[in-house]
């Protein structure tokens, strides 16, 4: 079994209250792959320029990730993003976005990438997501991300892709914007009527929520004493979540399995934010993950007891 | 056993995307008492004006709440607040604040109020909170709320009260502001060094977190399809939380008990936001609460299973 991700590979310049990096490996597909590679063989599809360093390709290939479909565009430059975070990391300003090779990107999937049973469409132009989705005929679980920009300028295309995927992973406020619902529960219900059977709402530092036809699940972000750089946390979460599902593709997609996938996504994302960019997850080892999932369970569990109430 | 709350009784004018009320019963002590009264006999201490309606006093007295220490100031007007919420209820603008009788309020506690074993100091001037705290010598569990205003203009007085209470209940961003910590976990640790043994971080629509010396607990807000008016949700949560502790004061203050208190606070707060002001909680019945706590447990629970990870 294999897992294909289509999305951005990038260089990021990031400044947080705790330091800065002028040029570090980033991109949605990168963060996704580094997390998902703990669970399955990941095939990465995305473009880079001449400037993409061999050592960064090595990082992308961590834990056996297949980089054969990383397209090196001759004469092109890698996607570049620069941003600065506020004091409490709650807000970030984009200082620069250079699409570069991403501007003319047309995903070309090898047979190996097309054959994946699980597919993740990271945040790119909805029409490209749709094209890729149609190419992966064998995929039995397709998840996707998107962003407010596409809701604003390409809603029709976006809704077309959403109708063709099993799982939409989006920020809570984007879900509300997409559905024009006044709250997250209503927003999720409306997405479940659009096609997906699973909706995941990312809530940033507050955690994430899972919605299916019959159930809901809420998990907090893993509490940390040290948060250095939130860049890529959402894609790392998605990598852990979708990776977990991919590793258990032989089983039915039960609520219990999806909840565990949420927990592993949460654990992976928590490592990501402890250092800049990919630094922490690139050298993360398998043995470090399960204890954090165990702690997540401990800090969310309570035992109810009957209580005598008045009135 | 009894529970005393000192704080505001108010009239609120509130506009949300779902309707408006020009003048409804509100105030921190009101919302707190309506929730806490499910668990214990509540004594309310706070001032009102000549304009405070007898029917509102009846609502305050719901489930046996003692209103003997509600001080009716002759010639005075009740505290008035007007606010408008944004489309997704995430933000609110204060349109008007009239302190009225609250400007010269000096809490006068009867012997019955002073004798309470559990005390809640709702958000008022820190010096008054301190005065009340010193008057309640028999109190074995004292909790308090506050707000950013007092951190800005009365930090020293505020820190003096915090040092004298067992539990600080504050918004997450106010905790960070108070301690100048870069994140909530560090903020809570610093408060635990200031005196309190329990810190509760309110996170609005995202839920709440509990911190003690040895442990943490995170609970989401109860997910609702209908959210009409968030006014008073924080105080209703505090009423459920502190009320639960008061009802179990014969037991040691274990982490398990505090977690259940968090769950009951969360359940109570969720009823509060379903309708305007006190409307829903005033007619809430005991039998409606436990099922919601049970649901809260179901939507936060996951079973971990060993998983084989790569790398």
Q: Do A217 and B307 touch (CB under 8 A)?
A: no
Return d(Cα B302, Cα A210) in angstroms, integer: 12
- How close does chain B come to A219, measured CA to CA in Å? 6
Q: What is the pLDDT of residues B70-87, one digit of tens each?
A: 999 999 999 999 999 998
Searching chain B, which residue's CA lies closest to the CA of residue A37?
Answer: B310
Q: What percent of chain B has pLDDT over 90?
A: 97
pTM strictly above 0.90: yes
CB contact under 8 A, B299 and A217: yes
Record: contact B311-A259, CB cut-off 8 A: no
Share of residues in chain A with pLDDT > 70 (%)? 100
Question: H or E element: which one contains B22?
Answer: strand B19-26
Among the partner-chain residues B218, B227, B299, the one whose CB lies closest to the CB of A299 is B218
Does B216 sit within 8 Å of A304, measured CB to CB?
A: no
pLDDT, one tens digit per residue, over A82-98 is 999 998 888 899 999 99
Average pLDDT for B282-303: 97
Question: In the structure, what pLDDT confidence band is assigned to residue B90 with cuts at 50, 70 and 90?
Answer: confident
10 Å CB burial of residue B190 (0-12, 13-18, 19+) is: middle
Residue whose token pair is 């705790």? A18
Q: Which two tokens stand for residue A118?
A: 């699980």
Structure tokens at B309: 């990870």
What is the percent of chain A where pLDDT is above 90? 97
Contact A207 B218 (CB under 8 A): yes
pLDDT band at A99 (very low <50, low <70, confident <90, very high): very high
Strands lying side by side in the sheet with A10-16: A19-26, A10-16, A79-85, A92-98
pLDDT for A1 beyond 80: no
Which residues in chain A belong to E strands, given as ranges?
2-6, 10-16, 19-26, 41-48, 70-72, 79-85, 92-98, 118-121, 141-144, 167-171, 198-202, 208-211, 216-219
Closest residue of chain A to B87, computed from CA coordinates: A182
Average pLDDT, chain A: 97
Answer whether residue B271 shows pLDDT above 70.
Answer: yes
Q: Which residue of B has its CA nearest to A224?
A: B185
Query: Nearest-CA neighbor of B8 among B115, B62, B80?
Result: B80
Q: Say whether A88 and B38 touch across the interface (CB within 8 A).
A: no
Collect all residues of chain A within an 8 Å Cβ-Cβ radius of residue B302: 217, 219, 256, 259-260, 262-263, 297
Quick: pLDDT tens for A114-142.
999 999 999 999 999 999 999 999 999 99
At a CB cut-off of 8 Å and minimum separation 6, what does A298 contact? none
Q: Which residue is listed with tokens 């880079």?
A: A48
Give CA separation, B107 vs A289, B6, B72, B117, B134, in Å. 53, 8, 12, 18, 12
Mean pLDDT of B201-207: 97
Q: Which of A182, A284, A304 sits opposite B294 (nearest CB)?
A: A304
**pLDDT tens track for A28-43:** 999 999 999 999 999 9
State pLDDT tens for residues A15-26: 999 999 999 999
> Are B176 and A88 an interchain contact pair (Cβ–Cβ within 8 Å)?
yes
| Helix and strand numbers, DSSP H then E, in chain B | 12, 13
- Cβ contact B223–A216 (<8 Å): yes
**Predicted ipTM beyond 0.90:** yes
- CB contacts of B185 in chain A (<8 Å) are 223-225
Cβ-Cβ contacts under 8 Å between A and B: the total is: 169
Measured in angstroms, the CA of B71 and the nearest CA of chain A are apart by 25
């Amino acid at each position: 079994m294999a897992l294909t991700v289509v999305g951005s590979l990038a260089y990021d310049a990031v400044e947080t209250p705790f330091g800065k990096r002028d040029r570090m490996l980033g991109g949605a597909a990168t963060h996704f792959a580094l997390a998902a590679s703990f669970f399955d063989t990941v095939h990465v599809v995305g473009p880079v320029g001449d400037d993409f360093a061999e050592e960064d390709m090595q990082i992308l290939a961590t834990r056996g990730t297949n980089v054969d479909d990383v397209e090196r565009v001759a004469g092109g430059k890698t996607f570049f993003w620069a941003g600065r975070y506020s004091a409490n990391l709650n807000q970030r300003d984009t200082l620069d976005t250079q699409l570069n090779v991403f501007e003319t990107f047309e995903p070309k999937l090898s047979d190996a990438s097309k054959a994946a049973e699980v597919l993740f469409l990271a945040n790119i132009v909805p029409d490209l997501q749709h094209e890729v989705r149609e190419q992966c005929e064998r995929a039995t679980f397709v998840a996707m991300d998107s962003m407010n920009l596409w809701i604003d300028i390409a809603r029709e295309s976006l809704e077309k892709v959403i109708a063709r995927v099993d799982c939409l992973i989006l920020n809570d406020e984007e879900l509300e914007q997409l559905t024009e619902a006044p709250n997250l529960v209503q927003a999720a219900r409306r997405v479940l009527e659009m096609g997906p059977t699973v909706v995941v709402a990312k809530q940033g530092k507050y955690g994430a929520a899972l919605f299916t036809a019959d159930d809901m699940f809420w998990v907090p972000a893993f509490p940390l004493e040290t948060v250095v750089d939130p860049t890529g946390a959402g894609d790392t979460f998605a990598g852990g979540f979708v990776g977990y599902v991919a590793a258990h593709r032989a089983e039915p997609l039960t609520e219990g399995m999806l909840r565990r996938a949420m927990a592993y996504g949460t654990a992976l994302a928590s490592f990501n934010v402890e250092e800049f960019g990919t630094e922490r997850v690139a050298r993360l080892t398998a043995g470090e993950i399960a204890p954090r999932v165990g702690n997540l369970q401990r800090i969310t569990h309570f035992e109810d007891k009957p209580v005598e109430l008045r009135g």
